[in-house]
């Protein structure tokens, strides 16, 4: 996997009531909290978090916001020490990505949430990077929001951008990465107008000038024919066309892309870009590249959205200054030269 530049961070929403109350945590953590409270035990501990495979790390910014809320709210932030890698860092198997030194009861209830945030986001970011590497140097856009619950679509799109996608379709997800959303138009708009050119002209009339005029051209007629009709109608204002031919009609093929490109070029529309979407994954993207298809960008949905979470493990490695570990682990702190200390007291739900 290659490295890509990291987007600037946007604004993070506050953790939900279920997260902050512990209701989204495994019940055994709340039971441990109750037992330790009644036994008047609250040792100073060090927890280290790692994954078991190479991946593109994501979820650290969201983790920092959660830790800032819980540590600041119970007065522990000034004494806590939190070290972490950054969203977008490539990580090695068992490399420590997060280390927390604090009173156990200040954060122990939230281990489930911390691990889950990183597991899901890192899975999405890593899948996005696989697509980005396959498409390089051509850009990839995240179109995965329709494949996940809307409450996490912003997190998905942010993770995809961290993984190297140049943009994402939801305003909420793009905003988390400090970007503007990317998109074309839905088939429903074309179907309602009853004609691709009429839909394109309406889009051109009503969308602000900074929105690229990218038109879907597979709804009613032959894609190459529709691309030319739209190009004739919008001229230099047309930025690109999107090919999203369904599987019932054989999907988008390298031959189709070549035909659309050739016909546009022959009519003097060499400036019009071609975006391909529909069931894309790294293998299919590589197929387009190997066939020399003149694709300018790829829009990927279900492959990124359906990525398997990447497991993270949290281990206590010190209790009250004494090295400790469960069987199979080495007691004491793991050498982790890349960790950076965070000013957790400065973080709240609106970011740093």
- In tens, the pLDDT along 151-178 reads 899 999 999 999 999 999 888 888 888 8
With a CB cutoff of 8 Å and minimum separation 6, the contacts of 171 are 180, 181
Global pTM?
0.91
- Tell me the two tokens of residue 42: 């609250």
Question: In this predicted structure, what is the pLDDT of residue 313?
Answer: 96
The 3-class secondary structure across the chain, one letter per residue, is CCCCCCCCCCCCCCCCHHHHHCCCCCHHHHHHHHHHHHCCCCCEEEEEEEECCCEECCCHHHHHHHHHHHHHHCCCCCCCEEEECCCCCEECCCCEEEEEEEEHHHHHHHHHHHHHHHHHHHHHHHHHHHHHHHHCCCCEEECCHHHCCHHHHHHHHHHHHHCCCCEECCHHHHHHCCCCCCCCCCHHHHHHHCCHHHHHHHHHHHCCCCCCEEEECCCCCCHHHHHHHHHHHHHHHEEEEEECCCHHHCCCCHHHHHHHHHHHHHCCCCCCEEEEECCCCHHHHHHHHHCCCCCCEEEECHHHHCCCCCCEEEEEEEECCEECCCCCCCCCCCCCCCCEEECHHHCECCEC
Q: Give the pLDDT of residue 74.
A: 66
Can you list the domains of the chain with their CATH numbers?
A: 17-122+308-346 (3.20.140.10), 137-305 (3.20.20.70)
At residue 195, does pLDDT exceed 80? yes
The pLDDT of residue 9 is 55
pLDDT at 33 over 50: yes
What is the Cα–Cα distance from 310 to 121, expressed in whole angstroms?
A: 8
CA 169 from chain centre, in angstroms, equals 11
What end-to-end distance do the CA atoms of the chain give, in Å? 29
Q: With cut-offs at 50, 70 and 90, classify the pLDDT of residue 352.
A: very low
């Amino acid at each position: 996997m290659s490295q890509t530049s990291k987007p600037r961070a946007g604004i993070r929403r506050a953790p939900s009531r279920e997260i902050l109350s512990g209701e989204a945590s495994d019940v055994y953590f709340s039971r441990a909290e109750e037992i330790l409270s009644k036994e008047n035990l609250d040792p100073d501990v060090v927890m280290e978090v790692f994954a078991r495979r190479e991946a593109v790390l994501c979820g650290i910014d969201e983790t920092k916001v959660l830790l800032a809320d819980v540590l600041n709210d119970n007065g522990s932030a000034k004494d806590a020490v939190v070290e972490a890698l950054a969203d977008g860092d490539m990580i090695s198997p068992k490399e420590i990505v997060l280390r927390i030194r604090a009173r156990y009861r200040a954060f122990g209830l939230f281990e489930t949430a911390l691990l889950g945030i990183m597991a899901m986001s890192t899975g999405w970011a890593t899948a996005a990077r696989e697509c980005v590497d396959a498409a390089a140097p051509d850009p990839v856009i995240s179109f995965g929001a329709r494949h996940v619950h809307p409450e996490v679509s912003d997190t998905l799109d942010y993770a995809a951008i961290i993984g190297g996608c140049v943009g994402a379709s939801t305003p909420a997800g793009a905003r988390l990465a400090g970007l503007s959303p990317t998109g074309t138009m839905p088939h429903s708009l074309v179907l309602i107008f009853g004609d691709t050119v009429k839909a394109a002209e309406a889009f051109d009339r009503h969308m602000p000038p900074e929105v690229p005029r990218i038109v879907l051209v597979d709804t009613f007629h032959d894609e190459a024919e529709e691309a030319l009709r739209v190009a004739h109608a919008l001229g230099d204002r047309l930025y690109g066309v999107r090919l999203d031919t369904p599987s019932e009609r054989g999907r988008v093929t390298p031959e189709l892309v070549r035909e659309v490109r050739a016909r546009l070029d022959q009519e003097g529309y060499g400036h019009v870009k071609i975006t391909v979407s529909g069931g894309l994954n790294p293998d299919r993207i590589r197929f387009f590249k190997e066939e020399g298809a003149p694709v300018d960008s790829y829009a990927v949905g279900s492959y990124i959205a359906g990525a398997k979470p990447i497991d993270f493990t949290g281990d206590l490695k010190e209790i009250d200054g004494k090295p400790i570990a469960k069987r199979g682990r080495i007691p004491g702190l793991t050498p982790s030269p890349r960790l950076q200390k965070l000013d957790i007291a400065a973080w709240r739900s609106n970011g740093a």
